[in-house]
Chain A
Amino acid sequence: MITYLFNGFEFLFTTMAAPALFGGVVLGIILGVLPGLTATMGIALLIPLTYYVSPSVGLSMLIGIFAGGIYGGSVSAILLKTPGTPAAGATLLDGYPMAQNGYAGKAIAIATIASAIGGLIGALILSFLAPQIAKIAVRFGPPEYVLLGIYGLTMISYVSGKSLVKGLFAGCIGLLISTFGIDPITSVPRFTFGTLNLLTGFELLPILIGIFAMSQAIEGVRDSREVTPPQIKLTRVGISVKEFLRILPHIVKSAFIGTFVGAVPGTGTDIAAFLSYGEAKRSSKHPEEFGNGSIEGVAAPEAGNNACVNGAMIPMFTLGIPGEAATAVILGGLMVLGLQPGPLLFTDKPEIIYTVFASTITSNIFMIVLGLLGARFFAKVLSLPKSVIVSFIFVFSVLGAYSMRNSMFDIIIMMTAGLLGYIFSVLDYPVPPVLLGVILGPLVESNLGRTLLVSDGNLMIFFKRPISIFFILIILSTIVSNIYKHYKSKRVLQ
């Protein structure tokens, strides 16, 4: 196997595959930085181009775009609070405050390092353990998805700020938003009011851009008369060894979480990012810094979502089942090229598989080089006058919402979400729980329905499966430890 991997590297660097991979990473970063343009879209646009080159070269490019796109989304999230991709929704929680404190370059550097290391760990797991992970991943049935979703919802307690009740209220709003559109079990067009726009419910990205970017921009307009404290300009981009050692354990842990979330079909980078964020906050020695610019809060979700990119390729290559939306597009591309992903690809065309593995590993190295070089340049954006930045965020929000499916309707949704987000921030209601609700609602609802169908309506199914019992224990321990902490902090106050 190692020999195969070496051959893969050899092939990568002796053909056009390496330049294609590099180009893919660059293009992916650009797509990711621009709001509304996602890695999935970039891959879909470029697949026709891959018809003309050899499969390994084409695939390397697609993998580069995928990795670069997920990473690039964090840059605009950190600088402008405008997530380039849904996966960056968790990164902005701490990345944006960091940038506002003058550490924009550093935040990008941390995101880069975490993305690359997380991605690298994911790529190594993909290269060496793919068949074994895939075996566990298919054991993940509807009950496990329900519990994974509920576990994700317990993260609300970590992103709620001061008031848990307000956080839960916001989370429920998110869940309600997610119920619009065709119901997953009975296919009733729910709350669509006869418009085709709502048939599949609300798109995630317009809501995400609205509640974070647009609401932020409205605040910017409101405060434009006030004397703002002069922006502290720190040009240093690097991080110290001490800081690196502080984030490293979180990166490693998040990488494992991300890889696994990617490996189970039907979940994506956004879920991986939030689970990683929550776990980092839970286990951090400085949980109070989270939300105000914690370096762990930037590192964890970035490591998680880039590991997820690689994790998502595990079921794609081993089973022929995509682990995530973008991999579904890559899968289609592979088939067009005449490669049928699945168990047979390993025996039939190992050279292609291992070239791909070599490029996933290499893409992370390209990413770290490009990211660290670019960090200084990206951070320059913030030296523009604040009023100009704010004005452009409005335009970017509109474009980002529109580009997802070329729909004017989504612009209205984005604006409404923006207004809601603004009112929430005025009233000191937390916004991230809304997002968690929107992301996790469909996962919980559809799989709860499936669970009841599979078990003939018997809820005991949750207690009969090893993985699901494991999840129940995690969820219980999270809730108990939260209540305990809450109780303890109240005692201290008194």
Chain B
Amino acid sequence: MITNRKTALEIGVNVLFITIAIGMFIVSADYKFVRGTLLGARTFPLLVGSIMMVFALINIFKTLGIQSSEENVEVEQALKELTKGKFNNWLRTYRVAAAIGLMVLYYLMMLAVGFIFATVIFLPAMLYLNEYRKPMKVIVVTIVGVAFLYISFKVLLGVPLPTAQLF
């Protein structure tokens, strides 16, 4: 099961990049060459893209080829032991998705209310996701952390922090 999903992901990634390379070929089709030469905005992406596609295809065939080999069963077993059961494994995937979702929310909050406020909301949520849940500690960590960032970046070094841009 795990290996199957991993195989699917691996093939997916390789297919994705092949698609991107083909997309780049199409977009670059109307970039002109310097007259009389092979020099142009297309040359390098075309060259690198083609080479990449070769490697991607090798990757895909290799993945398909070893799908049911014994070696992989061992890996699956090892991974099962490490994650201790199906539930934990599901939880791991869920956490990754949650972390990515939280980052996207963080970005949107920065656009809406600026860095400082967004971080004040983001940090406790991320700490919660990280199993760090004692309320007092979370508050202290958040306040100290945000204060540290604000003072070191904005006050001492005068480096701008992301500001709200929607309003």
In the complex, whether A31 has a CB less than 8 A from a CB of chain B is: yes
For window 373-420 of A, CB contacts with B under 8 Å fall at: 385-388, 390-392, 394-395, 398-399, 402-403, 406, 408, 411-412, 415, 418-419
- The answer to whether A188 and B41 touch (CB under 8 A), given A223-B92, A408-B110, is yes
CB neighbours (8 Å) of A412 from chain B are 107
A179 to B95, CA, bound (A): 34
CA distance A478 to B45 in the complex (A): 26
Main secondary structure of the interface of A (DSSP, over half): helix
Which of A176, A385, A392, A415 is within 8 Å of B52, CB to CB? A176
Check A370 for interface membership: any CB of B closer than 8 A: no
Q: Are A188 and B17 in contact (CB under 8 A)?
A: no
A:27-67 near B, CB below 8 Å: 30-31, 34, 37, 41, 45
User: Does B9 lie within 8 Å of A427, measured CB to CB?
Assistant: yes
Measured in the bound complex, the distance between the Cα atoms of B6 and A195 in whole Å is: 35
Checking B95, B149, B158 against A224 with a beta-carbon cut-off of 8 angstroms, the contacting residue is B95
Q: Is B77 an interface residue (CB 8 A)?
A: no
Q: Across the A-B interface, how many residue pairs have beta carbons closer than 8 Å?
A: 180
- Range class of the A interface residue count: 35 or more
- Could you say which of B10, B31, B88 contacts A190, with CB atoms under 8 Å apart? B31
Minimum Cβ distance to chain A for residue B112 (Å): 12
Size of B's binding interface in residues, CB under 8 A: 68
Contact A427 B6 (CB under 8 A): yes
Question: Which of A392, A406, A452 has the most CB atoms of chain B within a 10 A radius of its CB?
Answer: A392
- Collect the chain B residues with CB atoms within 8 Å of residue A448's CB: 44
A217–B102 Cα distance when bound, in Å, is 13
The 8 Å CB contact of B55, one of A30, A168, A190, A449, is: A168
Query: Residue A490 at the B interface, CB < 8 A?
Result: no
Q: Is A445 an interface residue (CB 8 A)?
A: yes
- Asked if residues A395 and B17 are in contact (CB atoms below 8 Å), the reply is no
Q: Is the CB of B41 within 8 A of A183?
A: yes
CB–CB B24/A403 < 8 A: no
A432 to chain B, nearest CB (A): 16
Q: How far is the CA of A30 from the CA of B157 in the complex (A)?
A: 10
A449 touches B130 (CB 8 A): no
**Across the interface, do A395 and B145 meet the contact criterion of CB distance under 8 Å?**
yes
- CB atoms of B130 and A390 under 8 A apart: yes
- CB contacts (< 8 Å) of B129 on chain A: these are 221, 224
Q: Once the chains bind, are B131 and A225 in contact (CB under 8 Å)?
A: yes
Q: Is B143 an interface residue (CB 8 A)?
A: no
Specify the main secondary structure of chain B where it touches its partner.
helix
A166: nearest residue on chain B (CB-CB)? Answer: B59
Cα A385 to Cα B133 in complex, Å, equals 12
**Interchain nearest-CB distance for B81 vs A (Å):** 12
Docked CA distance A418–B100 (Å): 10
Would you call A476 an interface residue if the criterion is a C-beta within 8 Å of the partner chain's C-beta atoms?
no
A residues within 8 A CB of B48? 172, 175-176, 179, 441
B1-51, CB < 8 A from A:
6, 9-10, 13-14, 17, 20-21, 24, 27-28, 31-32, 34, 37, 39-41, 44-45, 48-49, 51
Mind listing 21 A-B residue pairs with CB under 8 Å? Answer: A34-B157, A45-B157, A165-B62, A169-B14, A169-B52, A169-B55, A172-B51, A175-B48, A176-B52, A186-B39, A188-B41, A191-B27, A224-B95, A388-B127, A388-B130, A392-B123, A394-B126, A403-B160, A415-B104, A419-B100, A423-B9
Interchain residue pairs A-B with the least CB separation, the first 3: A172-B52, A387-B130, A183-B41
Q: Which residues of A contact B (CB under 8 A)?
A: 30-31, 34, 37, 41, 45, 165-166, 168-169, 172-173, 175-176, 179, 183, 185-186, 188, 190-191, 217-218, 220-226, 385-388, 390-392, 394-395, 398-399, 402-403, 406, 408, 411-412, 415, 418-419, 422-424, 426-427, 429, 441, 445, 448-449, 452-453, 457
Interface residues of chain B, those whose CB is within 8 Å of chain A, are 6, 9-10, 13-14, 17, 20-21, 24, 27-28, 31-32, 34, 37, 39-41, 44-45, 48-49, 51-52, 55-56, 58-59, 62, 82-84, 88, 91-92, 95-96, 98-100, 103-104, 106-107, 110-111, 115, 119, 122-123, 126-127, 129-132, 141, 145, 149, 152-153, 157-162, 165
